C-alpha cells in the first residue's frame, strides 16, 4: 500500500505549532487574551457615559465629517476620526498583536479642498510604546488624543484639533443643533445575527473653526456630523464591506443609510438607515425601505480598486429621490500604516426631490472593502507604514 505525502499537512502542523508557541510566549509576557464579551454587547446606549471610552470593548470610534466655508470663499470638507482597538483577539499570521501593543489608538484626518480640487490626509497610531507619540481615551469624561490631535467636550461643545505635515492646522468648535439620534434599537445596531455595535450620532452640528492652510490662517464656518460606534462583534461573510452615507439637506433634514456587502457584492438585509426631519423627529429605515444605486465607477490609479462614484438614493416612503456626486473623484486614503485598510471617504454634493420640492445638500460617503489588501495584512506596513508614508516622511511625496 503506497502512502501519499501532502506538504500542506506539514505546513498546517508547523503553523499550528508556531501559533501555540507565540500564544504561550505572549501570555507569559502580557497575560491571557480577554474574550471582550461580558454580556453587555446588546445593552442600550447610556448617555453621556457612552460618549466616553470603554475598557471592555474591542473596537470603538468617534467620527467627525463636515463641510466648511472660509472667509475668502474657499469650500472645504473635513474628516477627523479617532479609533481605540483592544488587540486581544488580533493576530498577524501566528503573532498575537497584543504582544506588540494593547490597546492601540488610531486617528485619520483629511481635508478636501472643493475649490482647488485637492485632497490631503494623514493618519497616526500609538500604543504608548517607547517610540510612540502619547495617546489616550478617557473613560470618565470625553477626551481623546493621539499626539497633538485631540477631541474633547466642554459645556456641550465638541472641540477638535488636528494637523498635517505641510503646516495645516485645524482647530474647531462643534455645537449640536439637534438632539442625539440612537440608531438601530435604542442604539443597538445589528450587523448580522448576534453581531451588533452601539451606534449614535449628532446629525447636525454648527462649526466655527480656525484653519491654517497653505500658510494662510482663516476663520471657517459650516456644518458637521458626528458618529459614535463601539462594541465587540465578529466580521462575518455579510460584512465584507460597506457603503455609508451621511446627508444633510438644505430643508433641515438629515439621512443616514448604509449597505453592508458580502464578498460577492450582495447587499445584506442587515443594512439600515435613519431619517431625521427638520424638527428632530426620527424615522428608522430597514434595508427594504431605501435603494442605493451607483451611477458610475472610479478606478484608483494607486491601489487599482474600483469604487462607485456617484449614486441615486430613493426612499419611497419619504418621497425622497436624491443624487449624490463626489466633489472630486480621488478622495482615497491608504491607512495600511495604522488601521490597515485602503478606503474612500469623501465630500459630496446632493441634489434631488423631497416630495414635490427641489432639495439640495451636502454629504460624506465612506466606501470600505473595494480594496482587499487588508485580508493579507502586512506587518512591516503596520510597523513602519506604507511606501507612500515613508516617502512623505522624508519629504519626497
With a CB cutoff of 8 Å and minimum separation 6, the contacts of 148 are 161, 163
Q: Which residue has the cell 445575527?
A: 193
- How does pLDDT run across 222-257, given as a tens digit for each residue? 999 999 999 999 889 999 999 999 999 999 999 999
Instruction: Go through the domains of the chain in sequence order and give each one's CATH number.
Output: 48-393 (2.40.370.10)
Confidence at 193, pLDDT banded by 50, 70, 90: very high
With a CB cutoff of 8 Å and minimum separation 6, the contacts of 52 are 138, 139, 140, 141, 142
- How does pLDDT run across 321-334, given as a tens digit for each residue? 999 999 999 999 99
When pLDDT is averaged across residues 141-154 and rounded to a whole number, the result is: 98
Q: Which residue has the cell 493621539?
A: 146
d(CA 102, CA 90): 10
- How does pLDDT run across 64-118, given as a tens digit for each residue? 999 999 999 999 999 999 999 999 998 887 888 888 899 999 999 999 999 999 9
C-alpha dist (Å) from residue 331 to 239, 326, 327: 23, 9, 9
Percent of the chain exceeding pLDDT 90 equals: 79
The pLDDT of residue 205 is above 60: yes
3-class DSSP assignment, residue 285: strand
- Asked whether 331 and 352 are in contact (CB, 8 A), the reply is no
d(CA 327, CA 117): 8
pTM of this structure? 0.92
The pLDDT of residue 8 is above 80: no
The pLDDT of residue 28 is above 80: no
d(CA 200, CA 53): 14
Of 10 and 130, more confident: 130
Amino acid at each position: 500500500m503506497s502512502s501519499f505525502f501532502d506538504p500542506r499537512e506539514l505546513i498546517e502542523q508547523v503553523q499550528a505549532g508556531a501559533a501555540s508557541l507565540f500564544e504561550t510566549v505572549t501570555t507569559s509576557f502580557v497575560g491571557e487574551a480577554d474574550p471582550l464579551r461580558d454580556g453587555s454587547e446588546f445593552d442600550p446606549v447610556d448617555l453621556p457615559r457612552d460618549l466616553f471610552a470603554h475598557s471592555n470593548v474591542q473596537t470603538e470610534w468617534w467620527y467627525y465629517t463636515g463641510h466648511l466655508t472660509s472667509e475668502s470663499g474657499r469650500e472645504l470638507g473635513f474628516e477627523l476620526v479617532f479609533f481605540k482597538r483592544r488587540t486581544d483577539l488580533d493576530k498577524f499570521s501566528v503573532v498575537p498583536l497584543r504582544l506588540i501593543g494593547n490597546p492601540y489608538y488610531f486617528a485619520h484626518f483629511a481635508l478636501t479642498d472643493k475649490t482647488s480640487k485637492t485632497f490631503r490626509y494623514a493618519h497616526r497610531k500609538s500604543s504608548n510604546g517607547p517610540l510612540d507619540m502619547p495617546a489616550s481615551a478617557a473613560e470618565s469624561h470625553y477626551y481623546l488624543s493621539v499626539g497633538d490631535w485631540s477631541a474633547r467636550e466642554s459645556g456641550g461643545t465638541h472641540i477638535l484639533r488636528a494637523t498635517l505635515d505641510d503646516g495645516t492646522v485645524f482647530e474647531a468648535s462643534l455645537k449640536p443643533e439637534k438632539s442625539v439620534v440612537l440608531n438601530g434599537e435604542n442604539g443597538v445596531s445589528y450587523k448580522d445575527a448576534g453581531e451588533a455595535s452601539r451606534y449614535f450620532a449628532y446629525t447636525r452640528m454648527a462649526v466655527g473653526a480656525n484653519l491654517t492652510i497653505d500658510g494662510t490662517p482663516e476663520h471657517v464656518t459650516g456644518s458637521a456630523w458626528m458618529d459614535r460606534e463601539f462594541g465587540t462583534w465578529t466580521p462575518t461573510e455579510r460584512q465584507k464591506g460597506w457603503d455609508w452615507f451621511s446627508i444633510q439637506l438644505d430643508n433641515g433634514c438629515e439621512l443616514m443609510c448604509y449597505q453592508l456587502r458580502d464578498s460577492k457584492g450582495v447587499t445584506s438585509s442587515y443594512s439600515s438607515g435613519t431619517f431625521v426631519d427638520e424638527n428632530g423627529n426620527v424615522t428608522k429605515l430597514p434595508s427594504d425601505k431605501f435603494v442605493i444605486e451607483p451611477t458610475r465607477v472610479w478606478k484608483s490609479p494607486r491601489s487599482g480598486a474600483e469604487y462607485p462614484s456617484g449614486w441615486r438614493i430613493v426612499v419611497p416612503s419619504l418621497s425622497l429621490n436624491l443624487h449624490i456626486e463626489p466633489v472630486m473623484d480621488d478622495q482615497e486614503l491608504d491607512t495600511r500604516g495604522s488601521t490597515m485598510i485602503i478606503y474612500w471617504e469623501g465630500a459630496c454634493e446632493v441634489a434631488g426631490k423631497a416630495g414635490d420640492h427641489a432639495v439640495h445638500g451636502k454629504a460624506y460617503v465612506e466606501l470600505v472593502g473595494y480594496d482587499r489588501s487588508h485580508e493579507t495584512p502586512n506587518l512591516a506596513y503596520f510597523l513602519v507604514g506604507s511606501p507612500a508614508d515613508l516617502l512623505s516622511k522624508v519629504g519626497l511625496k
